[in-house]
Amino acid sequence: MTKLFPTSTAGSLPKPAWLAEPEKLWSPWKFEGDALAAAKQDALLLSLKEQEAAGIDIVSDGEQTRQHFVTTFIEHLDGVDFNQREVVKIRDRYDASVPTVVAEVSRPRAVFVEDAKFLRRHTTQPIKWALPGPMTMVDTLYDSHYKSREKLAWEFARILNQEARELEAAGVDIIQFDEPAFNVFFDEMNDWGVAALERAIEGLQCETAVHICYGYGIEANIEWKKTLGSEWRQYESSFPKLQQSGIDIISLECHNARVPIDLIGLLRGKKVMVGAIDVATHTIETPEEVAATLRKALEFVDADKLYPSTNCGMAPLPRAVARGKLQALAAAAERVRKEVAA
Ligand SMILES: [Zn+2]
């Protein structure tokens, strides 16, 4: 991007109340069949227009067509039985009833490609599309077939690469992989997590990003954060490996987080999507608060590589709150742009 400090979101935005019950993860749809397909497209368009109106530079679908950032993708794959459920601990944090891998996994057809084409047709802004990362997918399932997290991750990486290539052909400018699991399983990340991610981006010409955060502002994550102490140094374990990887952009959480900001220096050379909006509170940041986080990050990221963003997805927030936060983000970026130009 030629524009300095182009703004974006980590991915999800709240859905309209007529589509699904708001402020809830895995919220059930209020329509079925063709009516649901049409309603999802309407919501996608609305979400796009809200981002554009707020002044967001790199826009997304707001994840309006998916119920959840991991499960919706998995639902479209063969080899996973959604009726056969087991309780597992997700990201070592909370129990969830998850589907079971019962056979070889494959992607019989594209998952998000039609949605991406639809988004592309309706905007001239650069677009970013989020997919789950291989390790986070593995961590959201019970595996009775491969019986190896690594083996399953490589299979998912192959499938994600098929989807990513089609998204690129549909005109997506940045493909982002959500890997919150990288903030938890450091040994696995170093052993095979980043390598699997690189398999997922193989052959892509568009830009690629990885989003690593401390999660949505839900109770389980807030409780987990309380156990992390006064300094959150998790990124120290993942950044060196990511700095050496083929991923172009690293998306992370900075605002109201106890992440020592100098850790970003470990990514030197990469573009950094700096999370400068807290998604765990309904309080709307002032542009000055957001700008302060961006200025701190600027000490460790070159100006042309700093992309202001949100800490994580905003799906669980009220719409008006999310809208206010987007406006604060755009206003803050404009403020810092002027300062740097002066
Ligand atoms: Zn996140």
Q: Please return the burial class of 328, using the count of CB atoms within 10 Å of its CB with bins 0-12, 13-18 and 19+.
A: buried
Q: Tokens at residue 222, please?
A: 């807030």
- pLDDT score of 12: 95
Query: What's the confidence (pLDDT) of residue 134?
Result: 98
Start-to-end Cα distance in the chain: 20
Question: What is the rounded distance in angstroms from the CA atom of residue 127 to the CA atom of residue 187?
Answer: 33
Distance 212 CA to ligand 1 centre (A): 6
Q: What number is the average pLDDT over the span 45-67?
A: 97
Q: What is the pLDDT of residues 151-175, one digit of tens each?
A: 999 999 999 999 999 999 999 999 9
Q: How far is the CA of 210 from the centre of ligand 1 (A)?
A: 10
Q: How far is the CA of 178 from the centre of ligand 1 (A)?
A: 7
Average of pLDDT values for 86-114?
93
CA of residue 342 to ligand 1 center, whole Å: 33
Q: Which runs of consecutive H residues, i.e. helices, occur in the chain?
A: 33-54, 71-75, 113-121, 134-138, 149-169, 186-188, 194-200, 219-226, 235-243, 287-298, 319-341
**Which pLDDT belongs to residue 203?**
98
Cα 52 to ligand 1 centre (Å): 21
Q: Cα of 4 to ligand 1 centre, how many Å?
A: 23
Question: Ligand 1 centroid to 259 CA: how many Å?
Answer: 15
Q: Which residues pair with 130 in a beta bridge?
A: 176
What pLDDT sits at residue 99?
94
Strand order in the sheet with 271-275: 128-132, 174-178, 207-212, 249-253, 271-275, 306-309
Centre of ligand 1 to C-alpha 34, Å, is: 31
* Count of CA atoms in the C-beta half-sphere (13 A) of 88: 16
Q: State the distance from the centre of ligand 1 to the C-alpha of 80, rounded, in angstroms.
A: 24
| Span 226-238, average pLDDT | 88
Distance 27 CA to ligand 1 centre (A): 18
Q: 278-336: per-residue pLDDT in tens?
A: 999 999 999 999 999 999 999 999 999 999 999 999 999 999 999 999 999 999 999 99
Residue 225 has pLDDT above 90, yes or no: no
Q: Say if CB 312 and CB 279 are below 8 A apart.
A: yes
Per-residue confidence band for 221, with pLDDT thresholds at 50, 70 and 90: confident
Is the pLDDT assigned to residue 217 strictly greater than 80?
Answer: no
C-alpha 9 to ligand 1 mean position (Å): 10
Element (H, E) at 249: strand 249-253
Residues 113-150 as b or e (16 or more Cβ within 10 Å = b): bebbbbbbebeebbbbbbbbbbbbbbbbbbbebbeebb
Looking at residue 158, what is its pLDDT? 98
- Ligand 1 center to residue 189 CA distance, Å? 17
Q: How far is the CA of 312 from the centre of ligand 1 (A)?
A: 4
pLDDT interval class at 216 (50, 70, 90): confident
Amino acid at 4: L
| Confidence grade of residue 259 (pLDDT, cut at 50, 70, 90) | confident
Q: How far is the CA of 277 from the centre of ligand 1 (A)?
A: 12
Model pTM? 0.96
Residue-wise pLDDT for 120-138, tens only, equals: 999 999 999 999 999 999 9
User: Is residue 111 predicted with pLDDT exceeding 90?
Assistant: yes
Q: Which residues, other chains included, contact 158 with Cβ-Cβ below 8 Å and sequence gap of 6+?
A: 199
Q: Ligand 1 centroid vs 91 CA: distance in angstroms?
A: 13
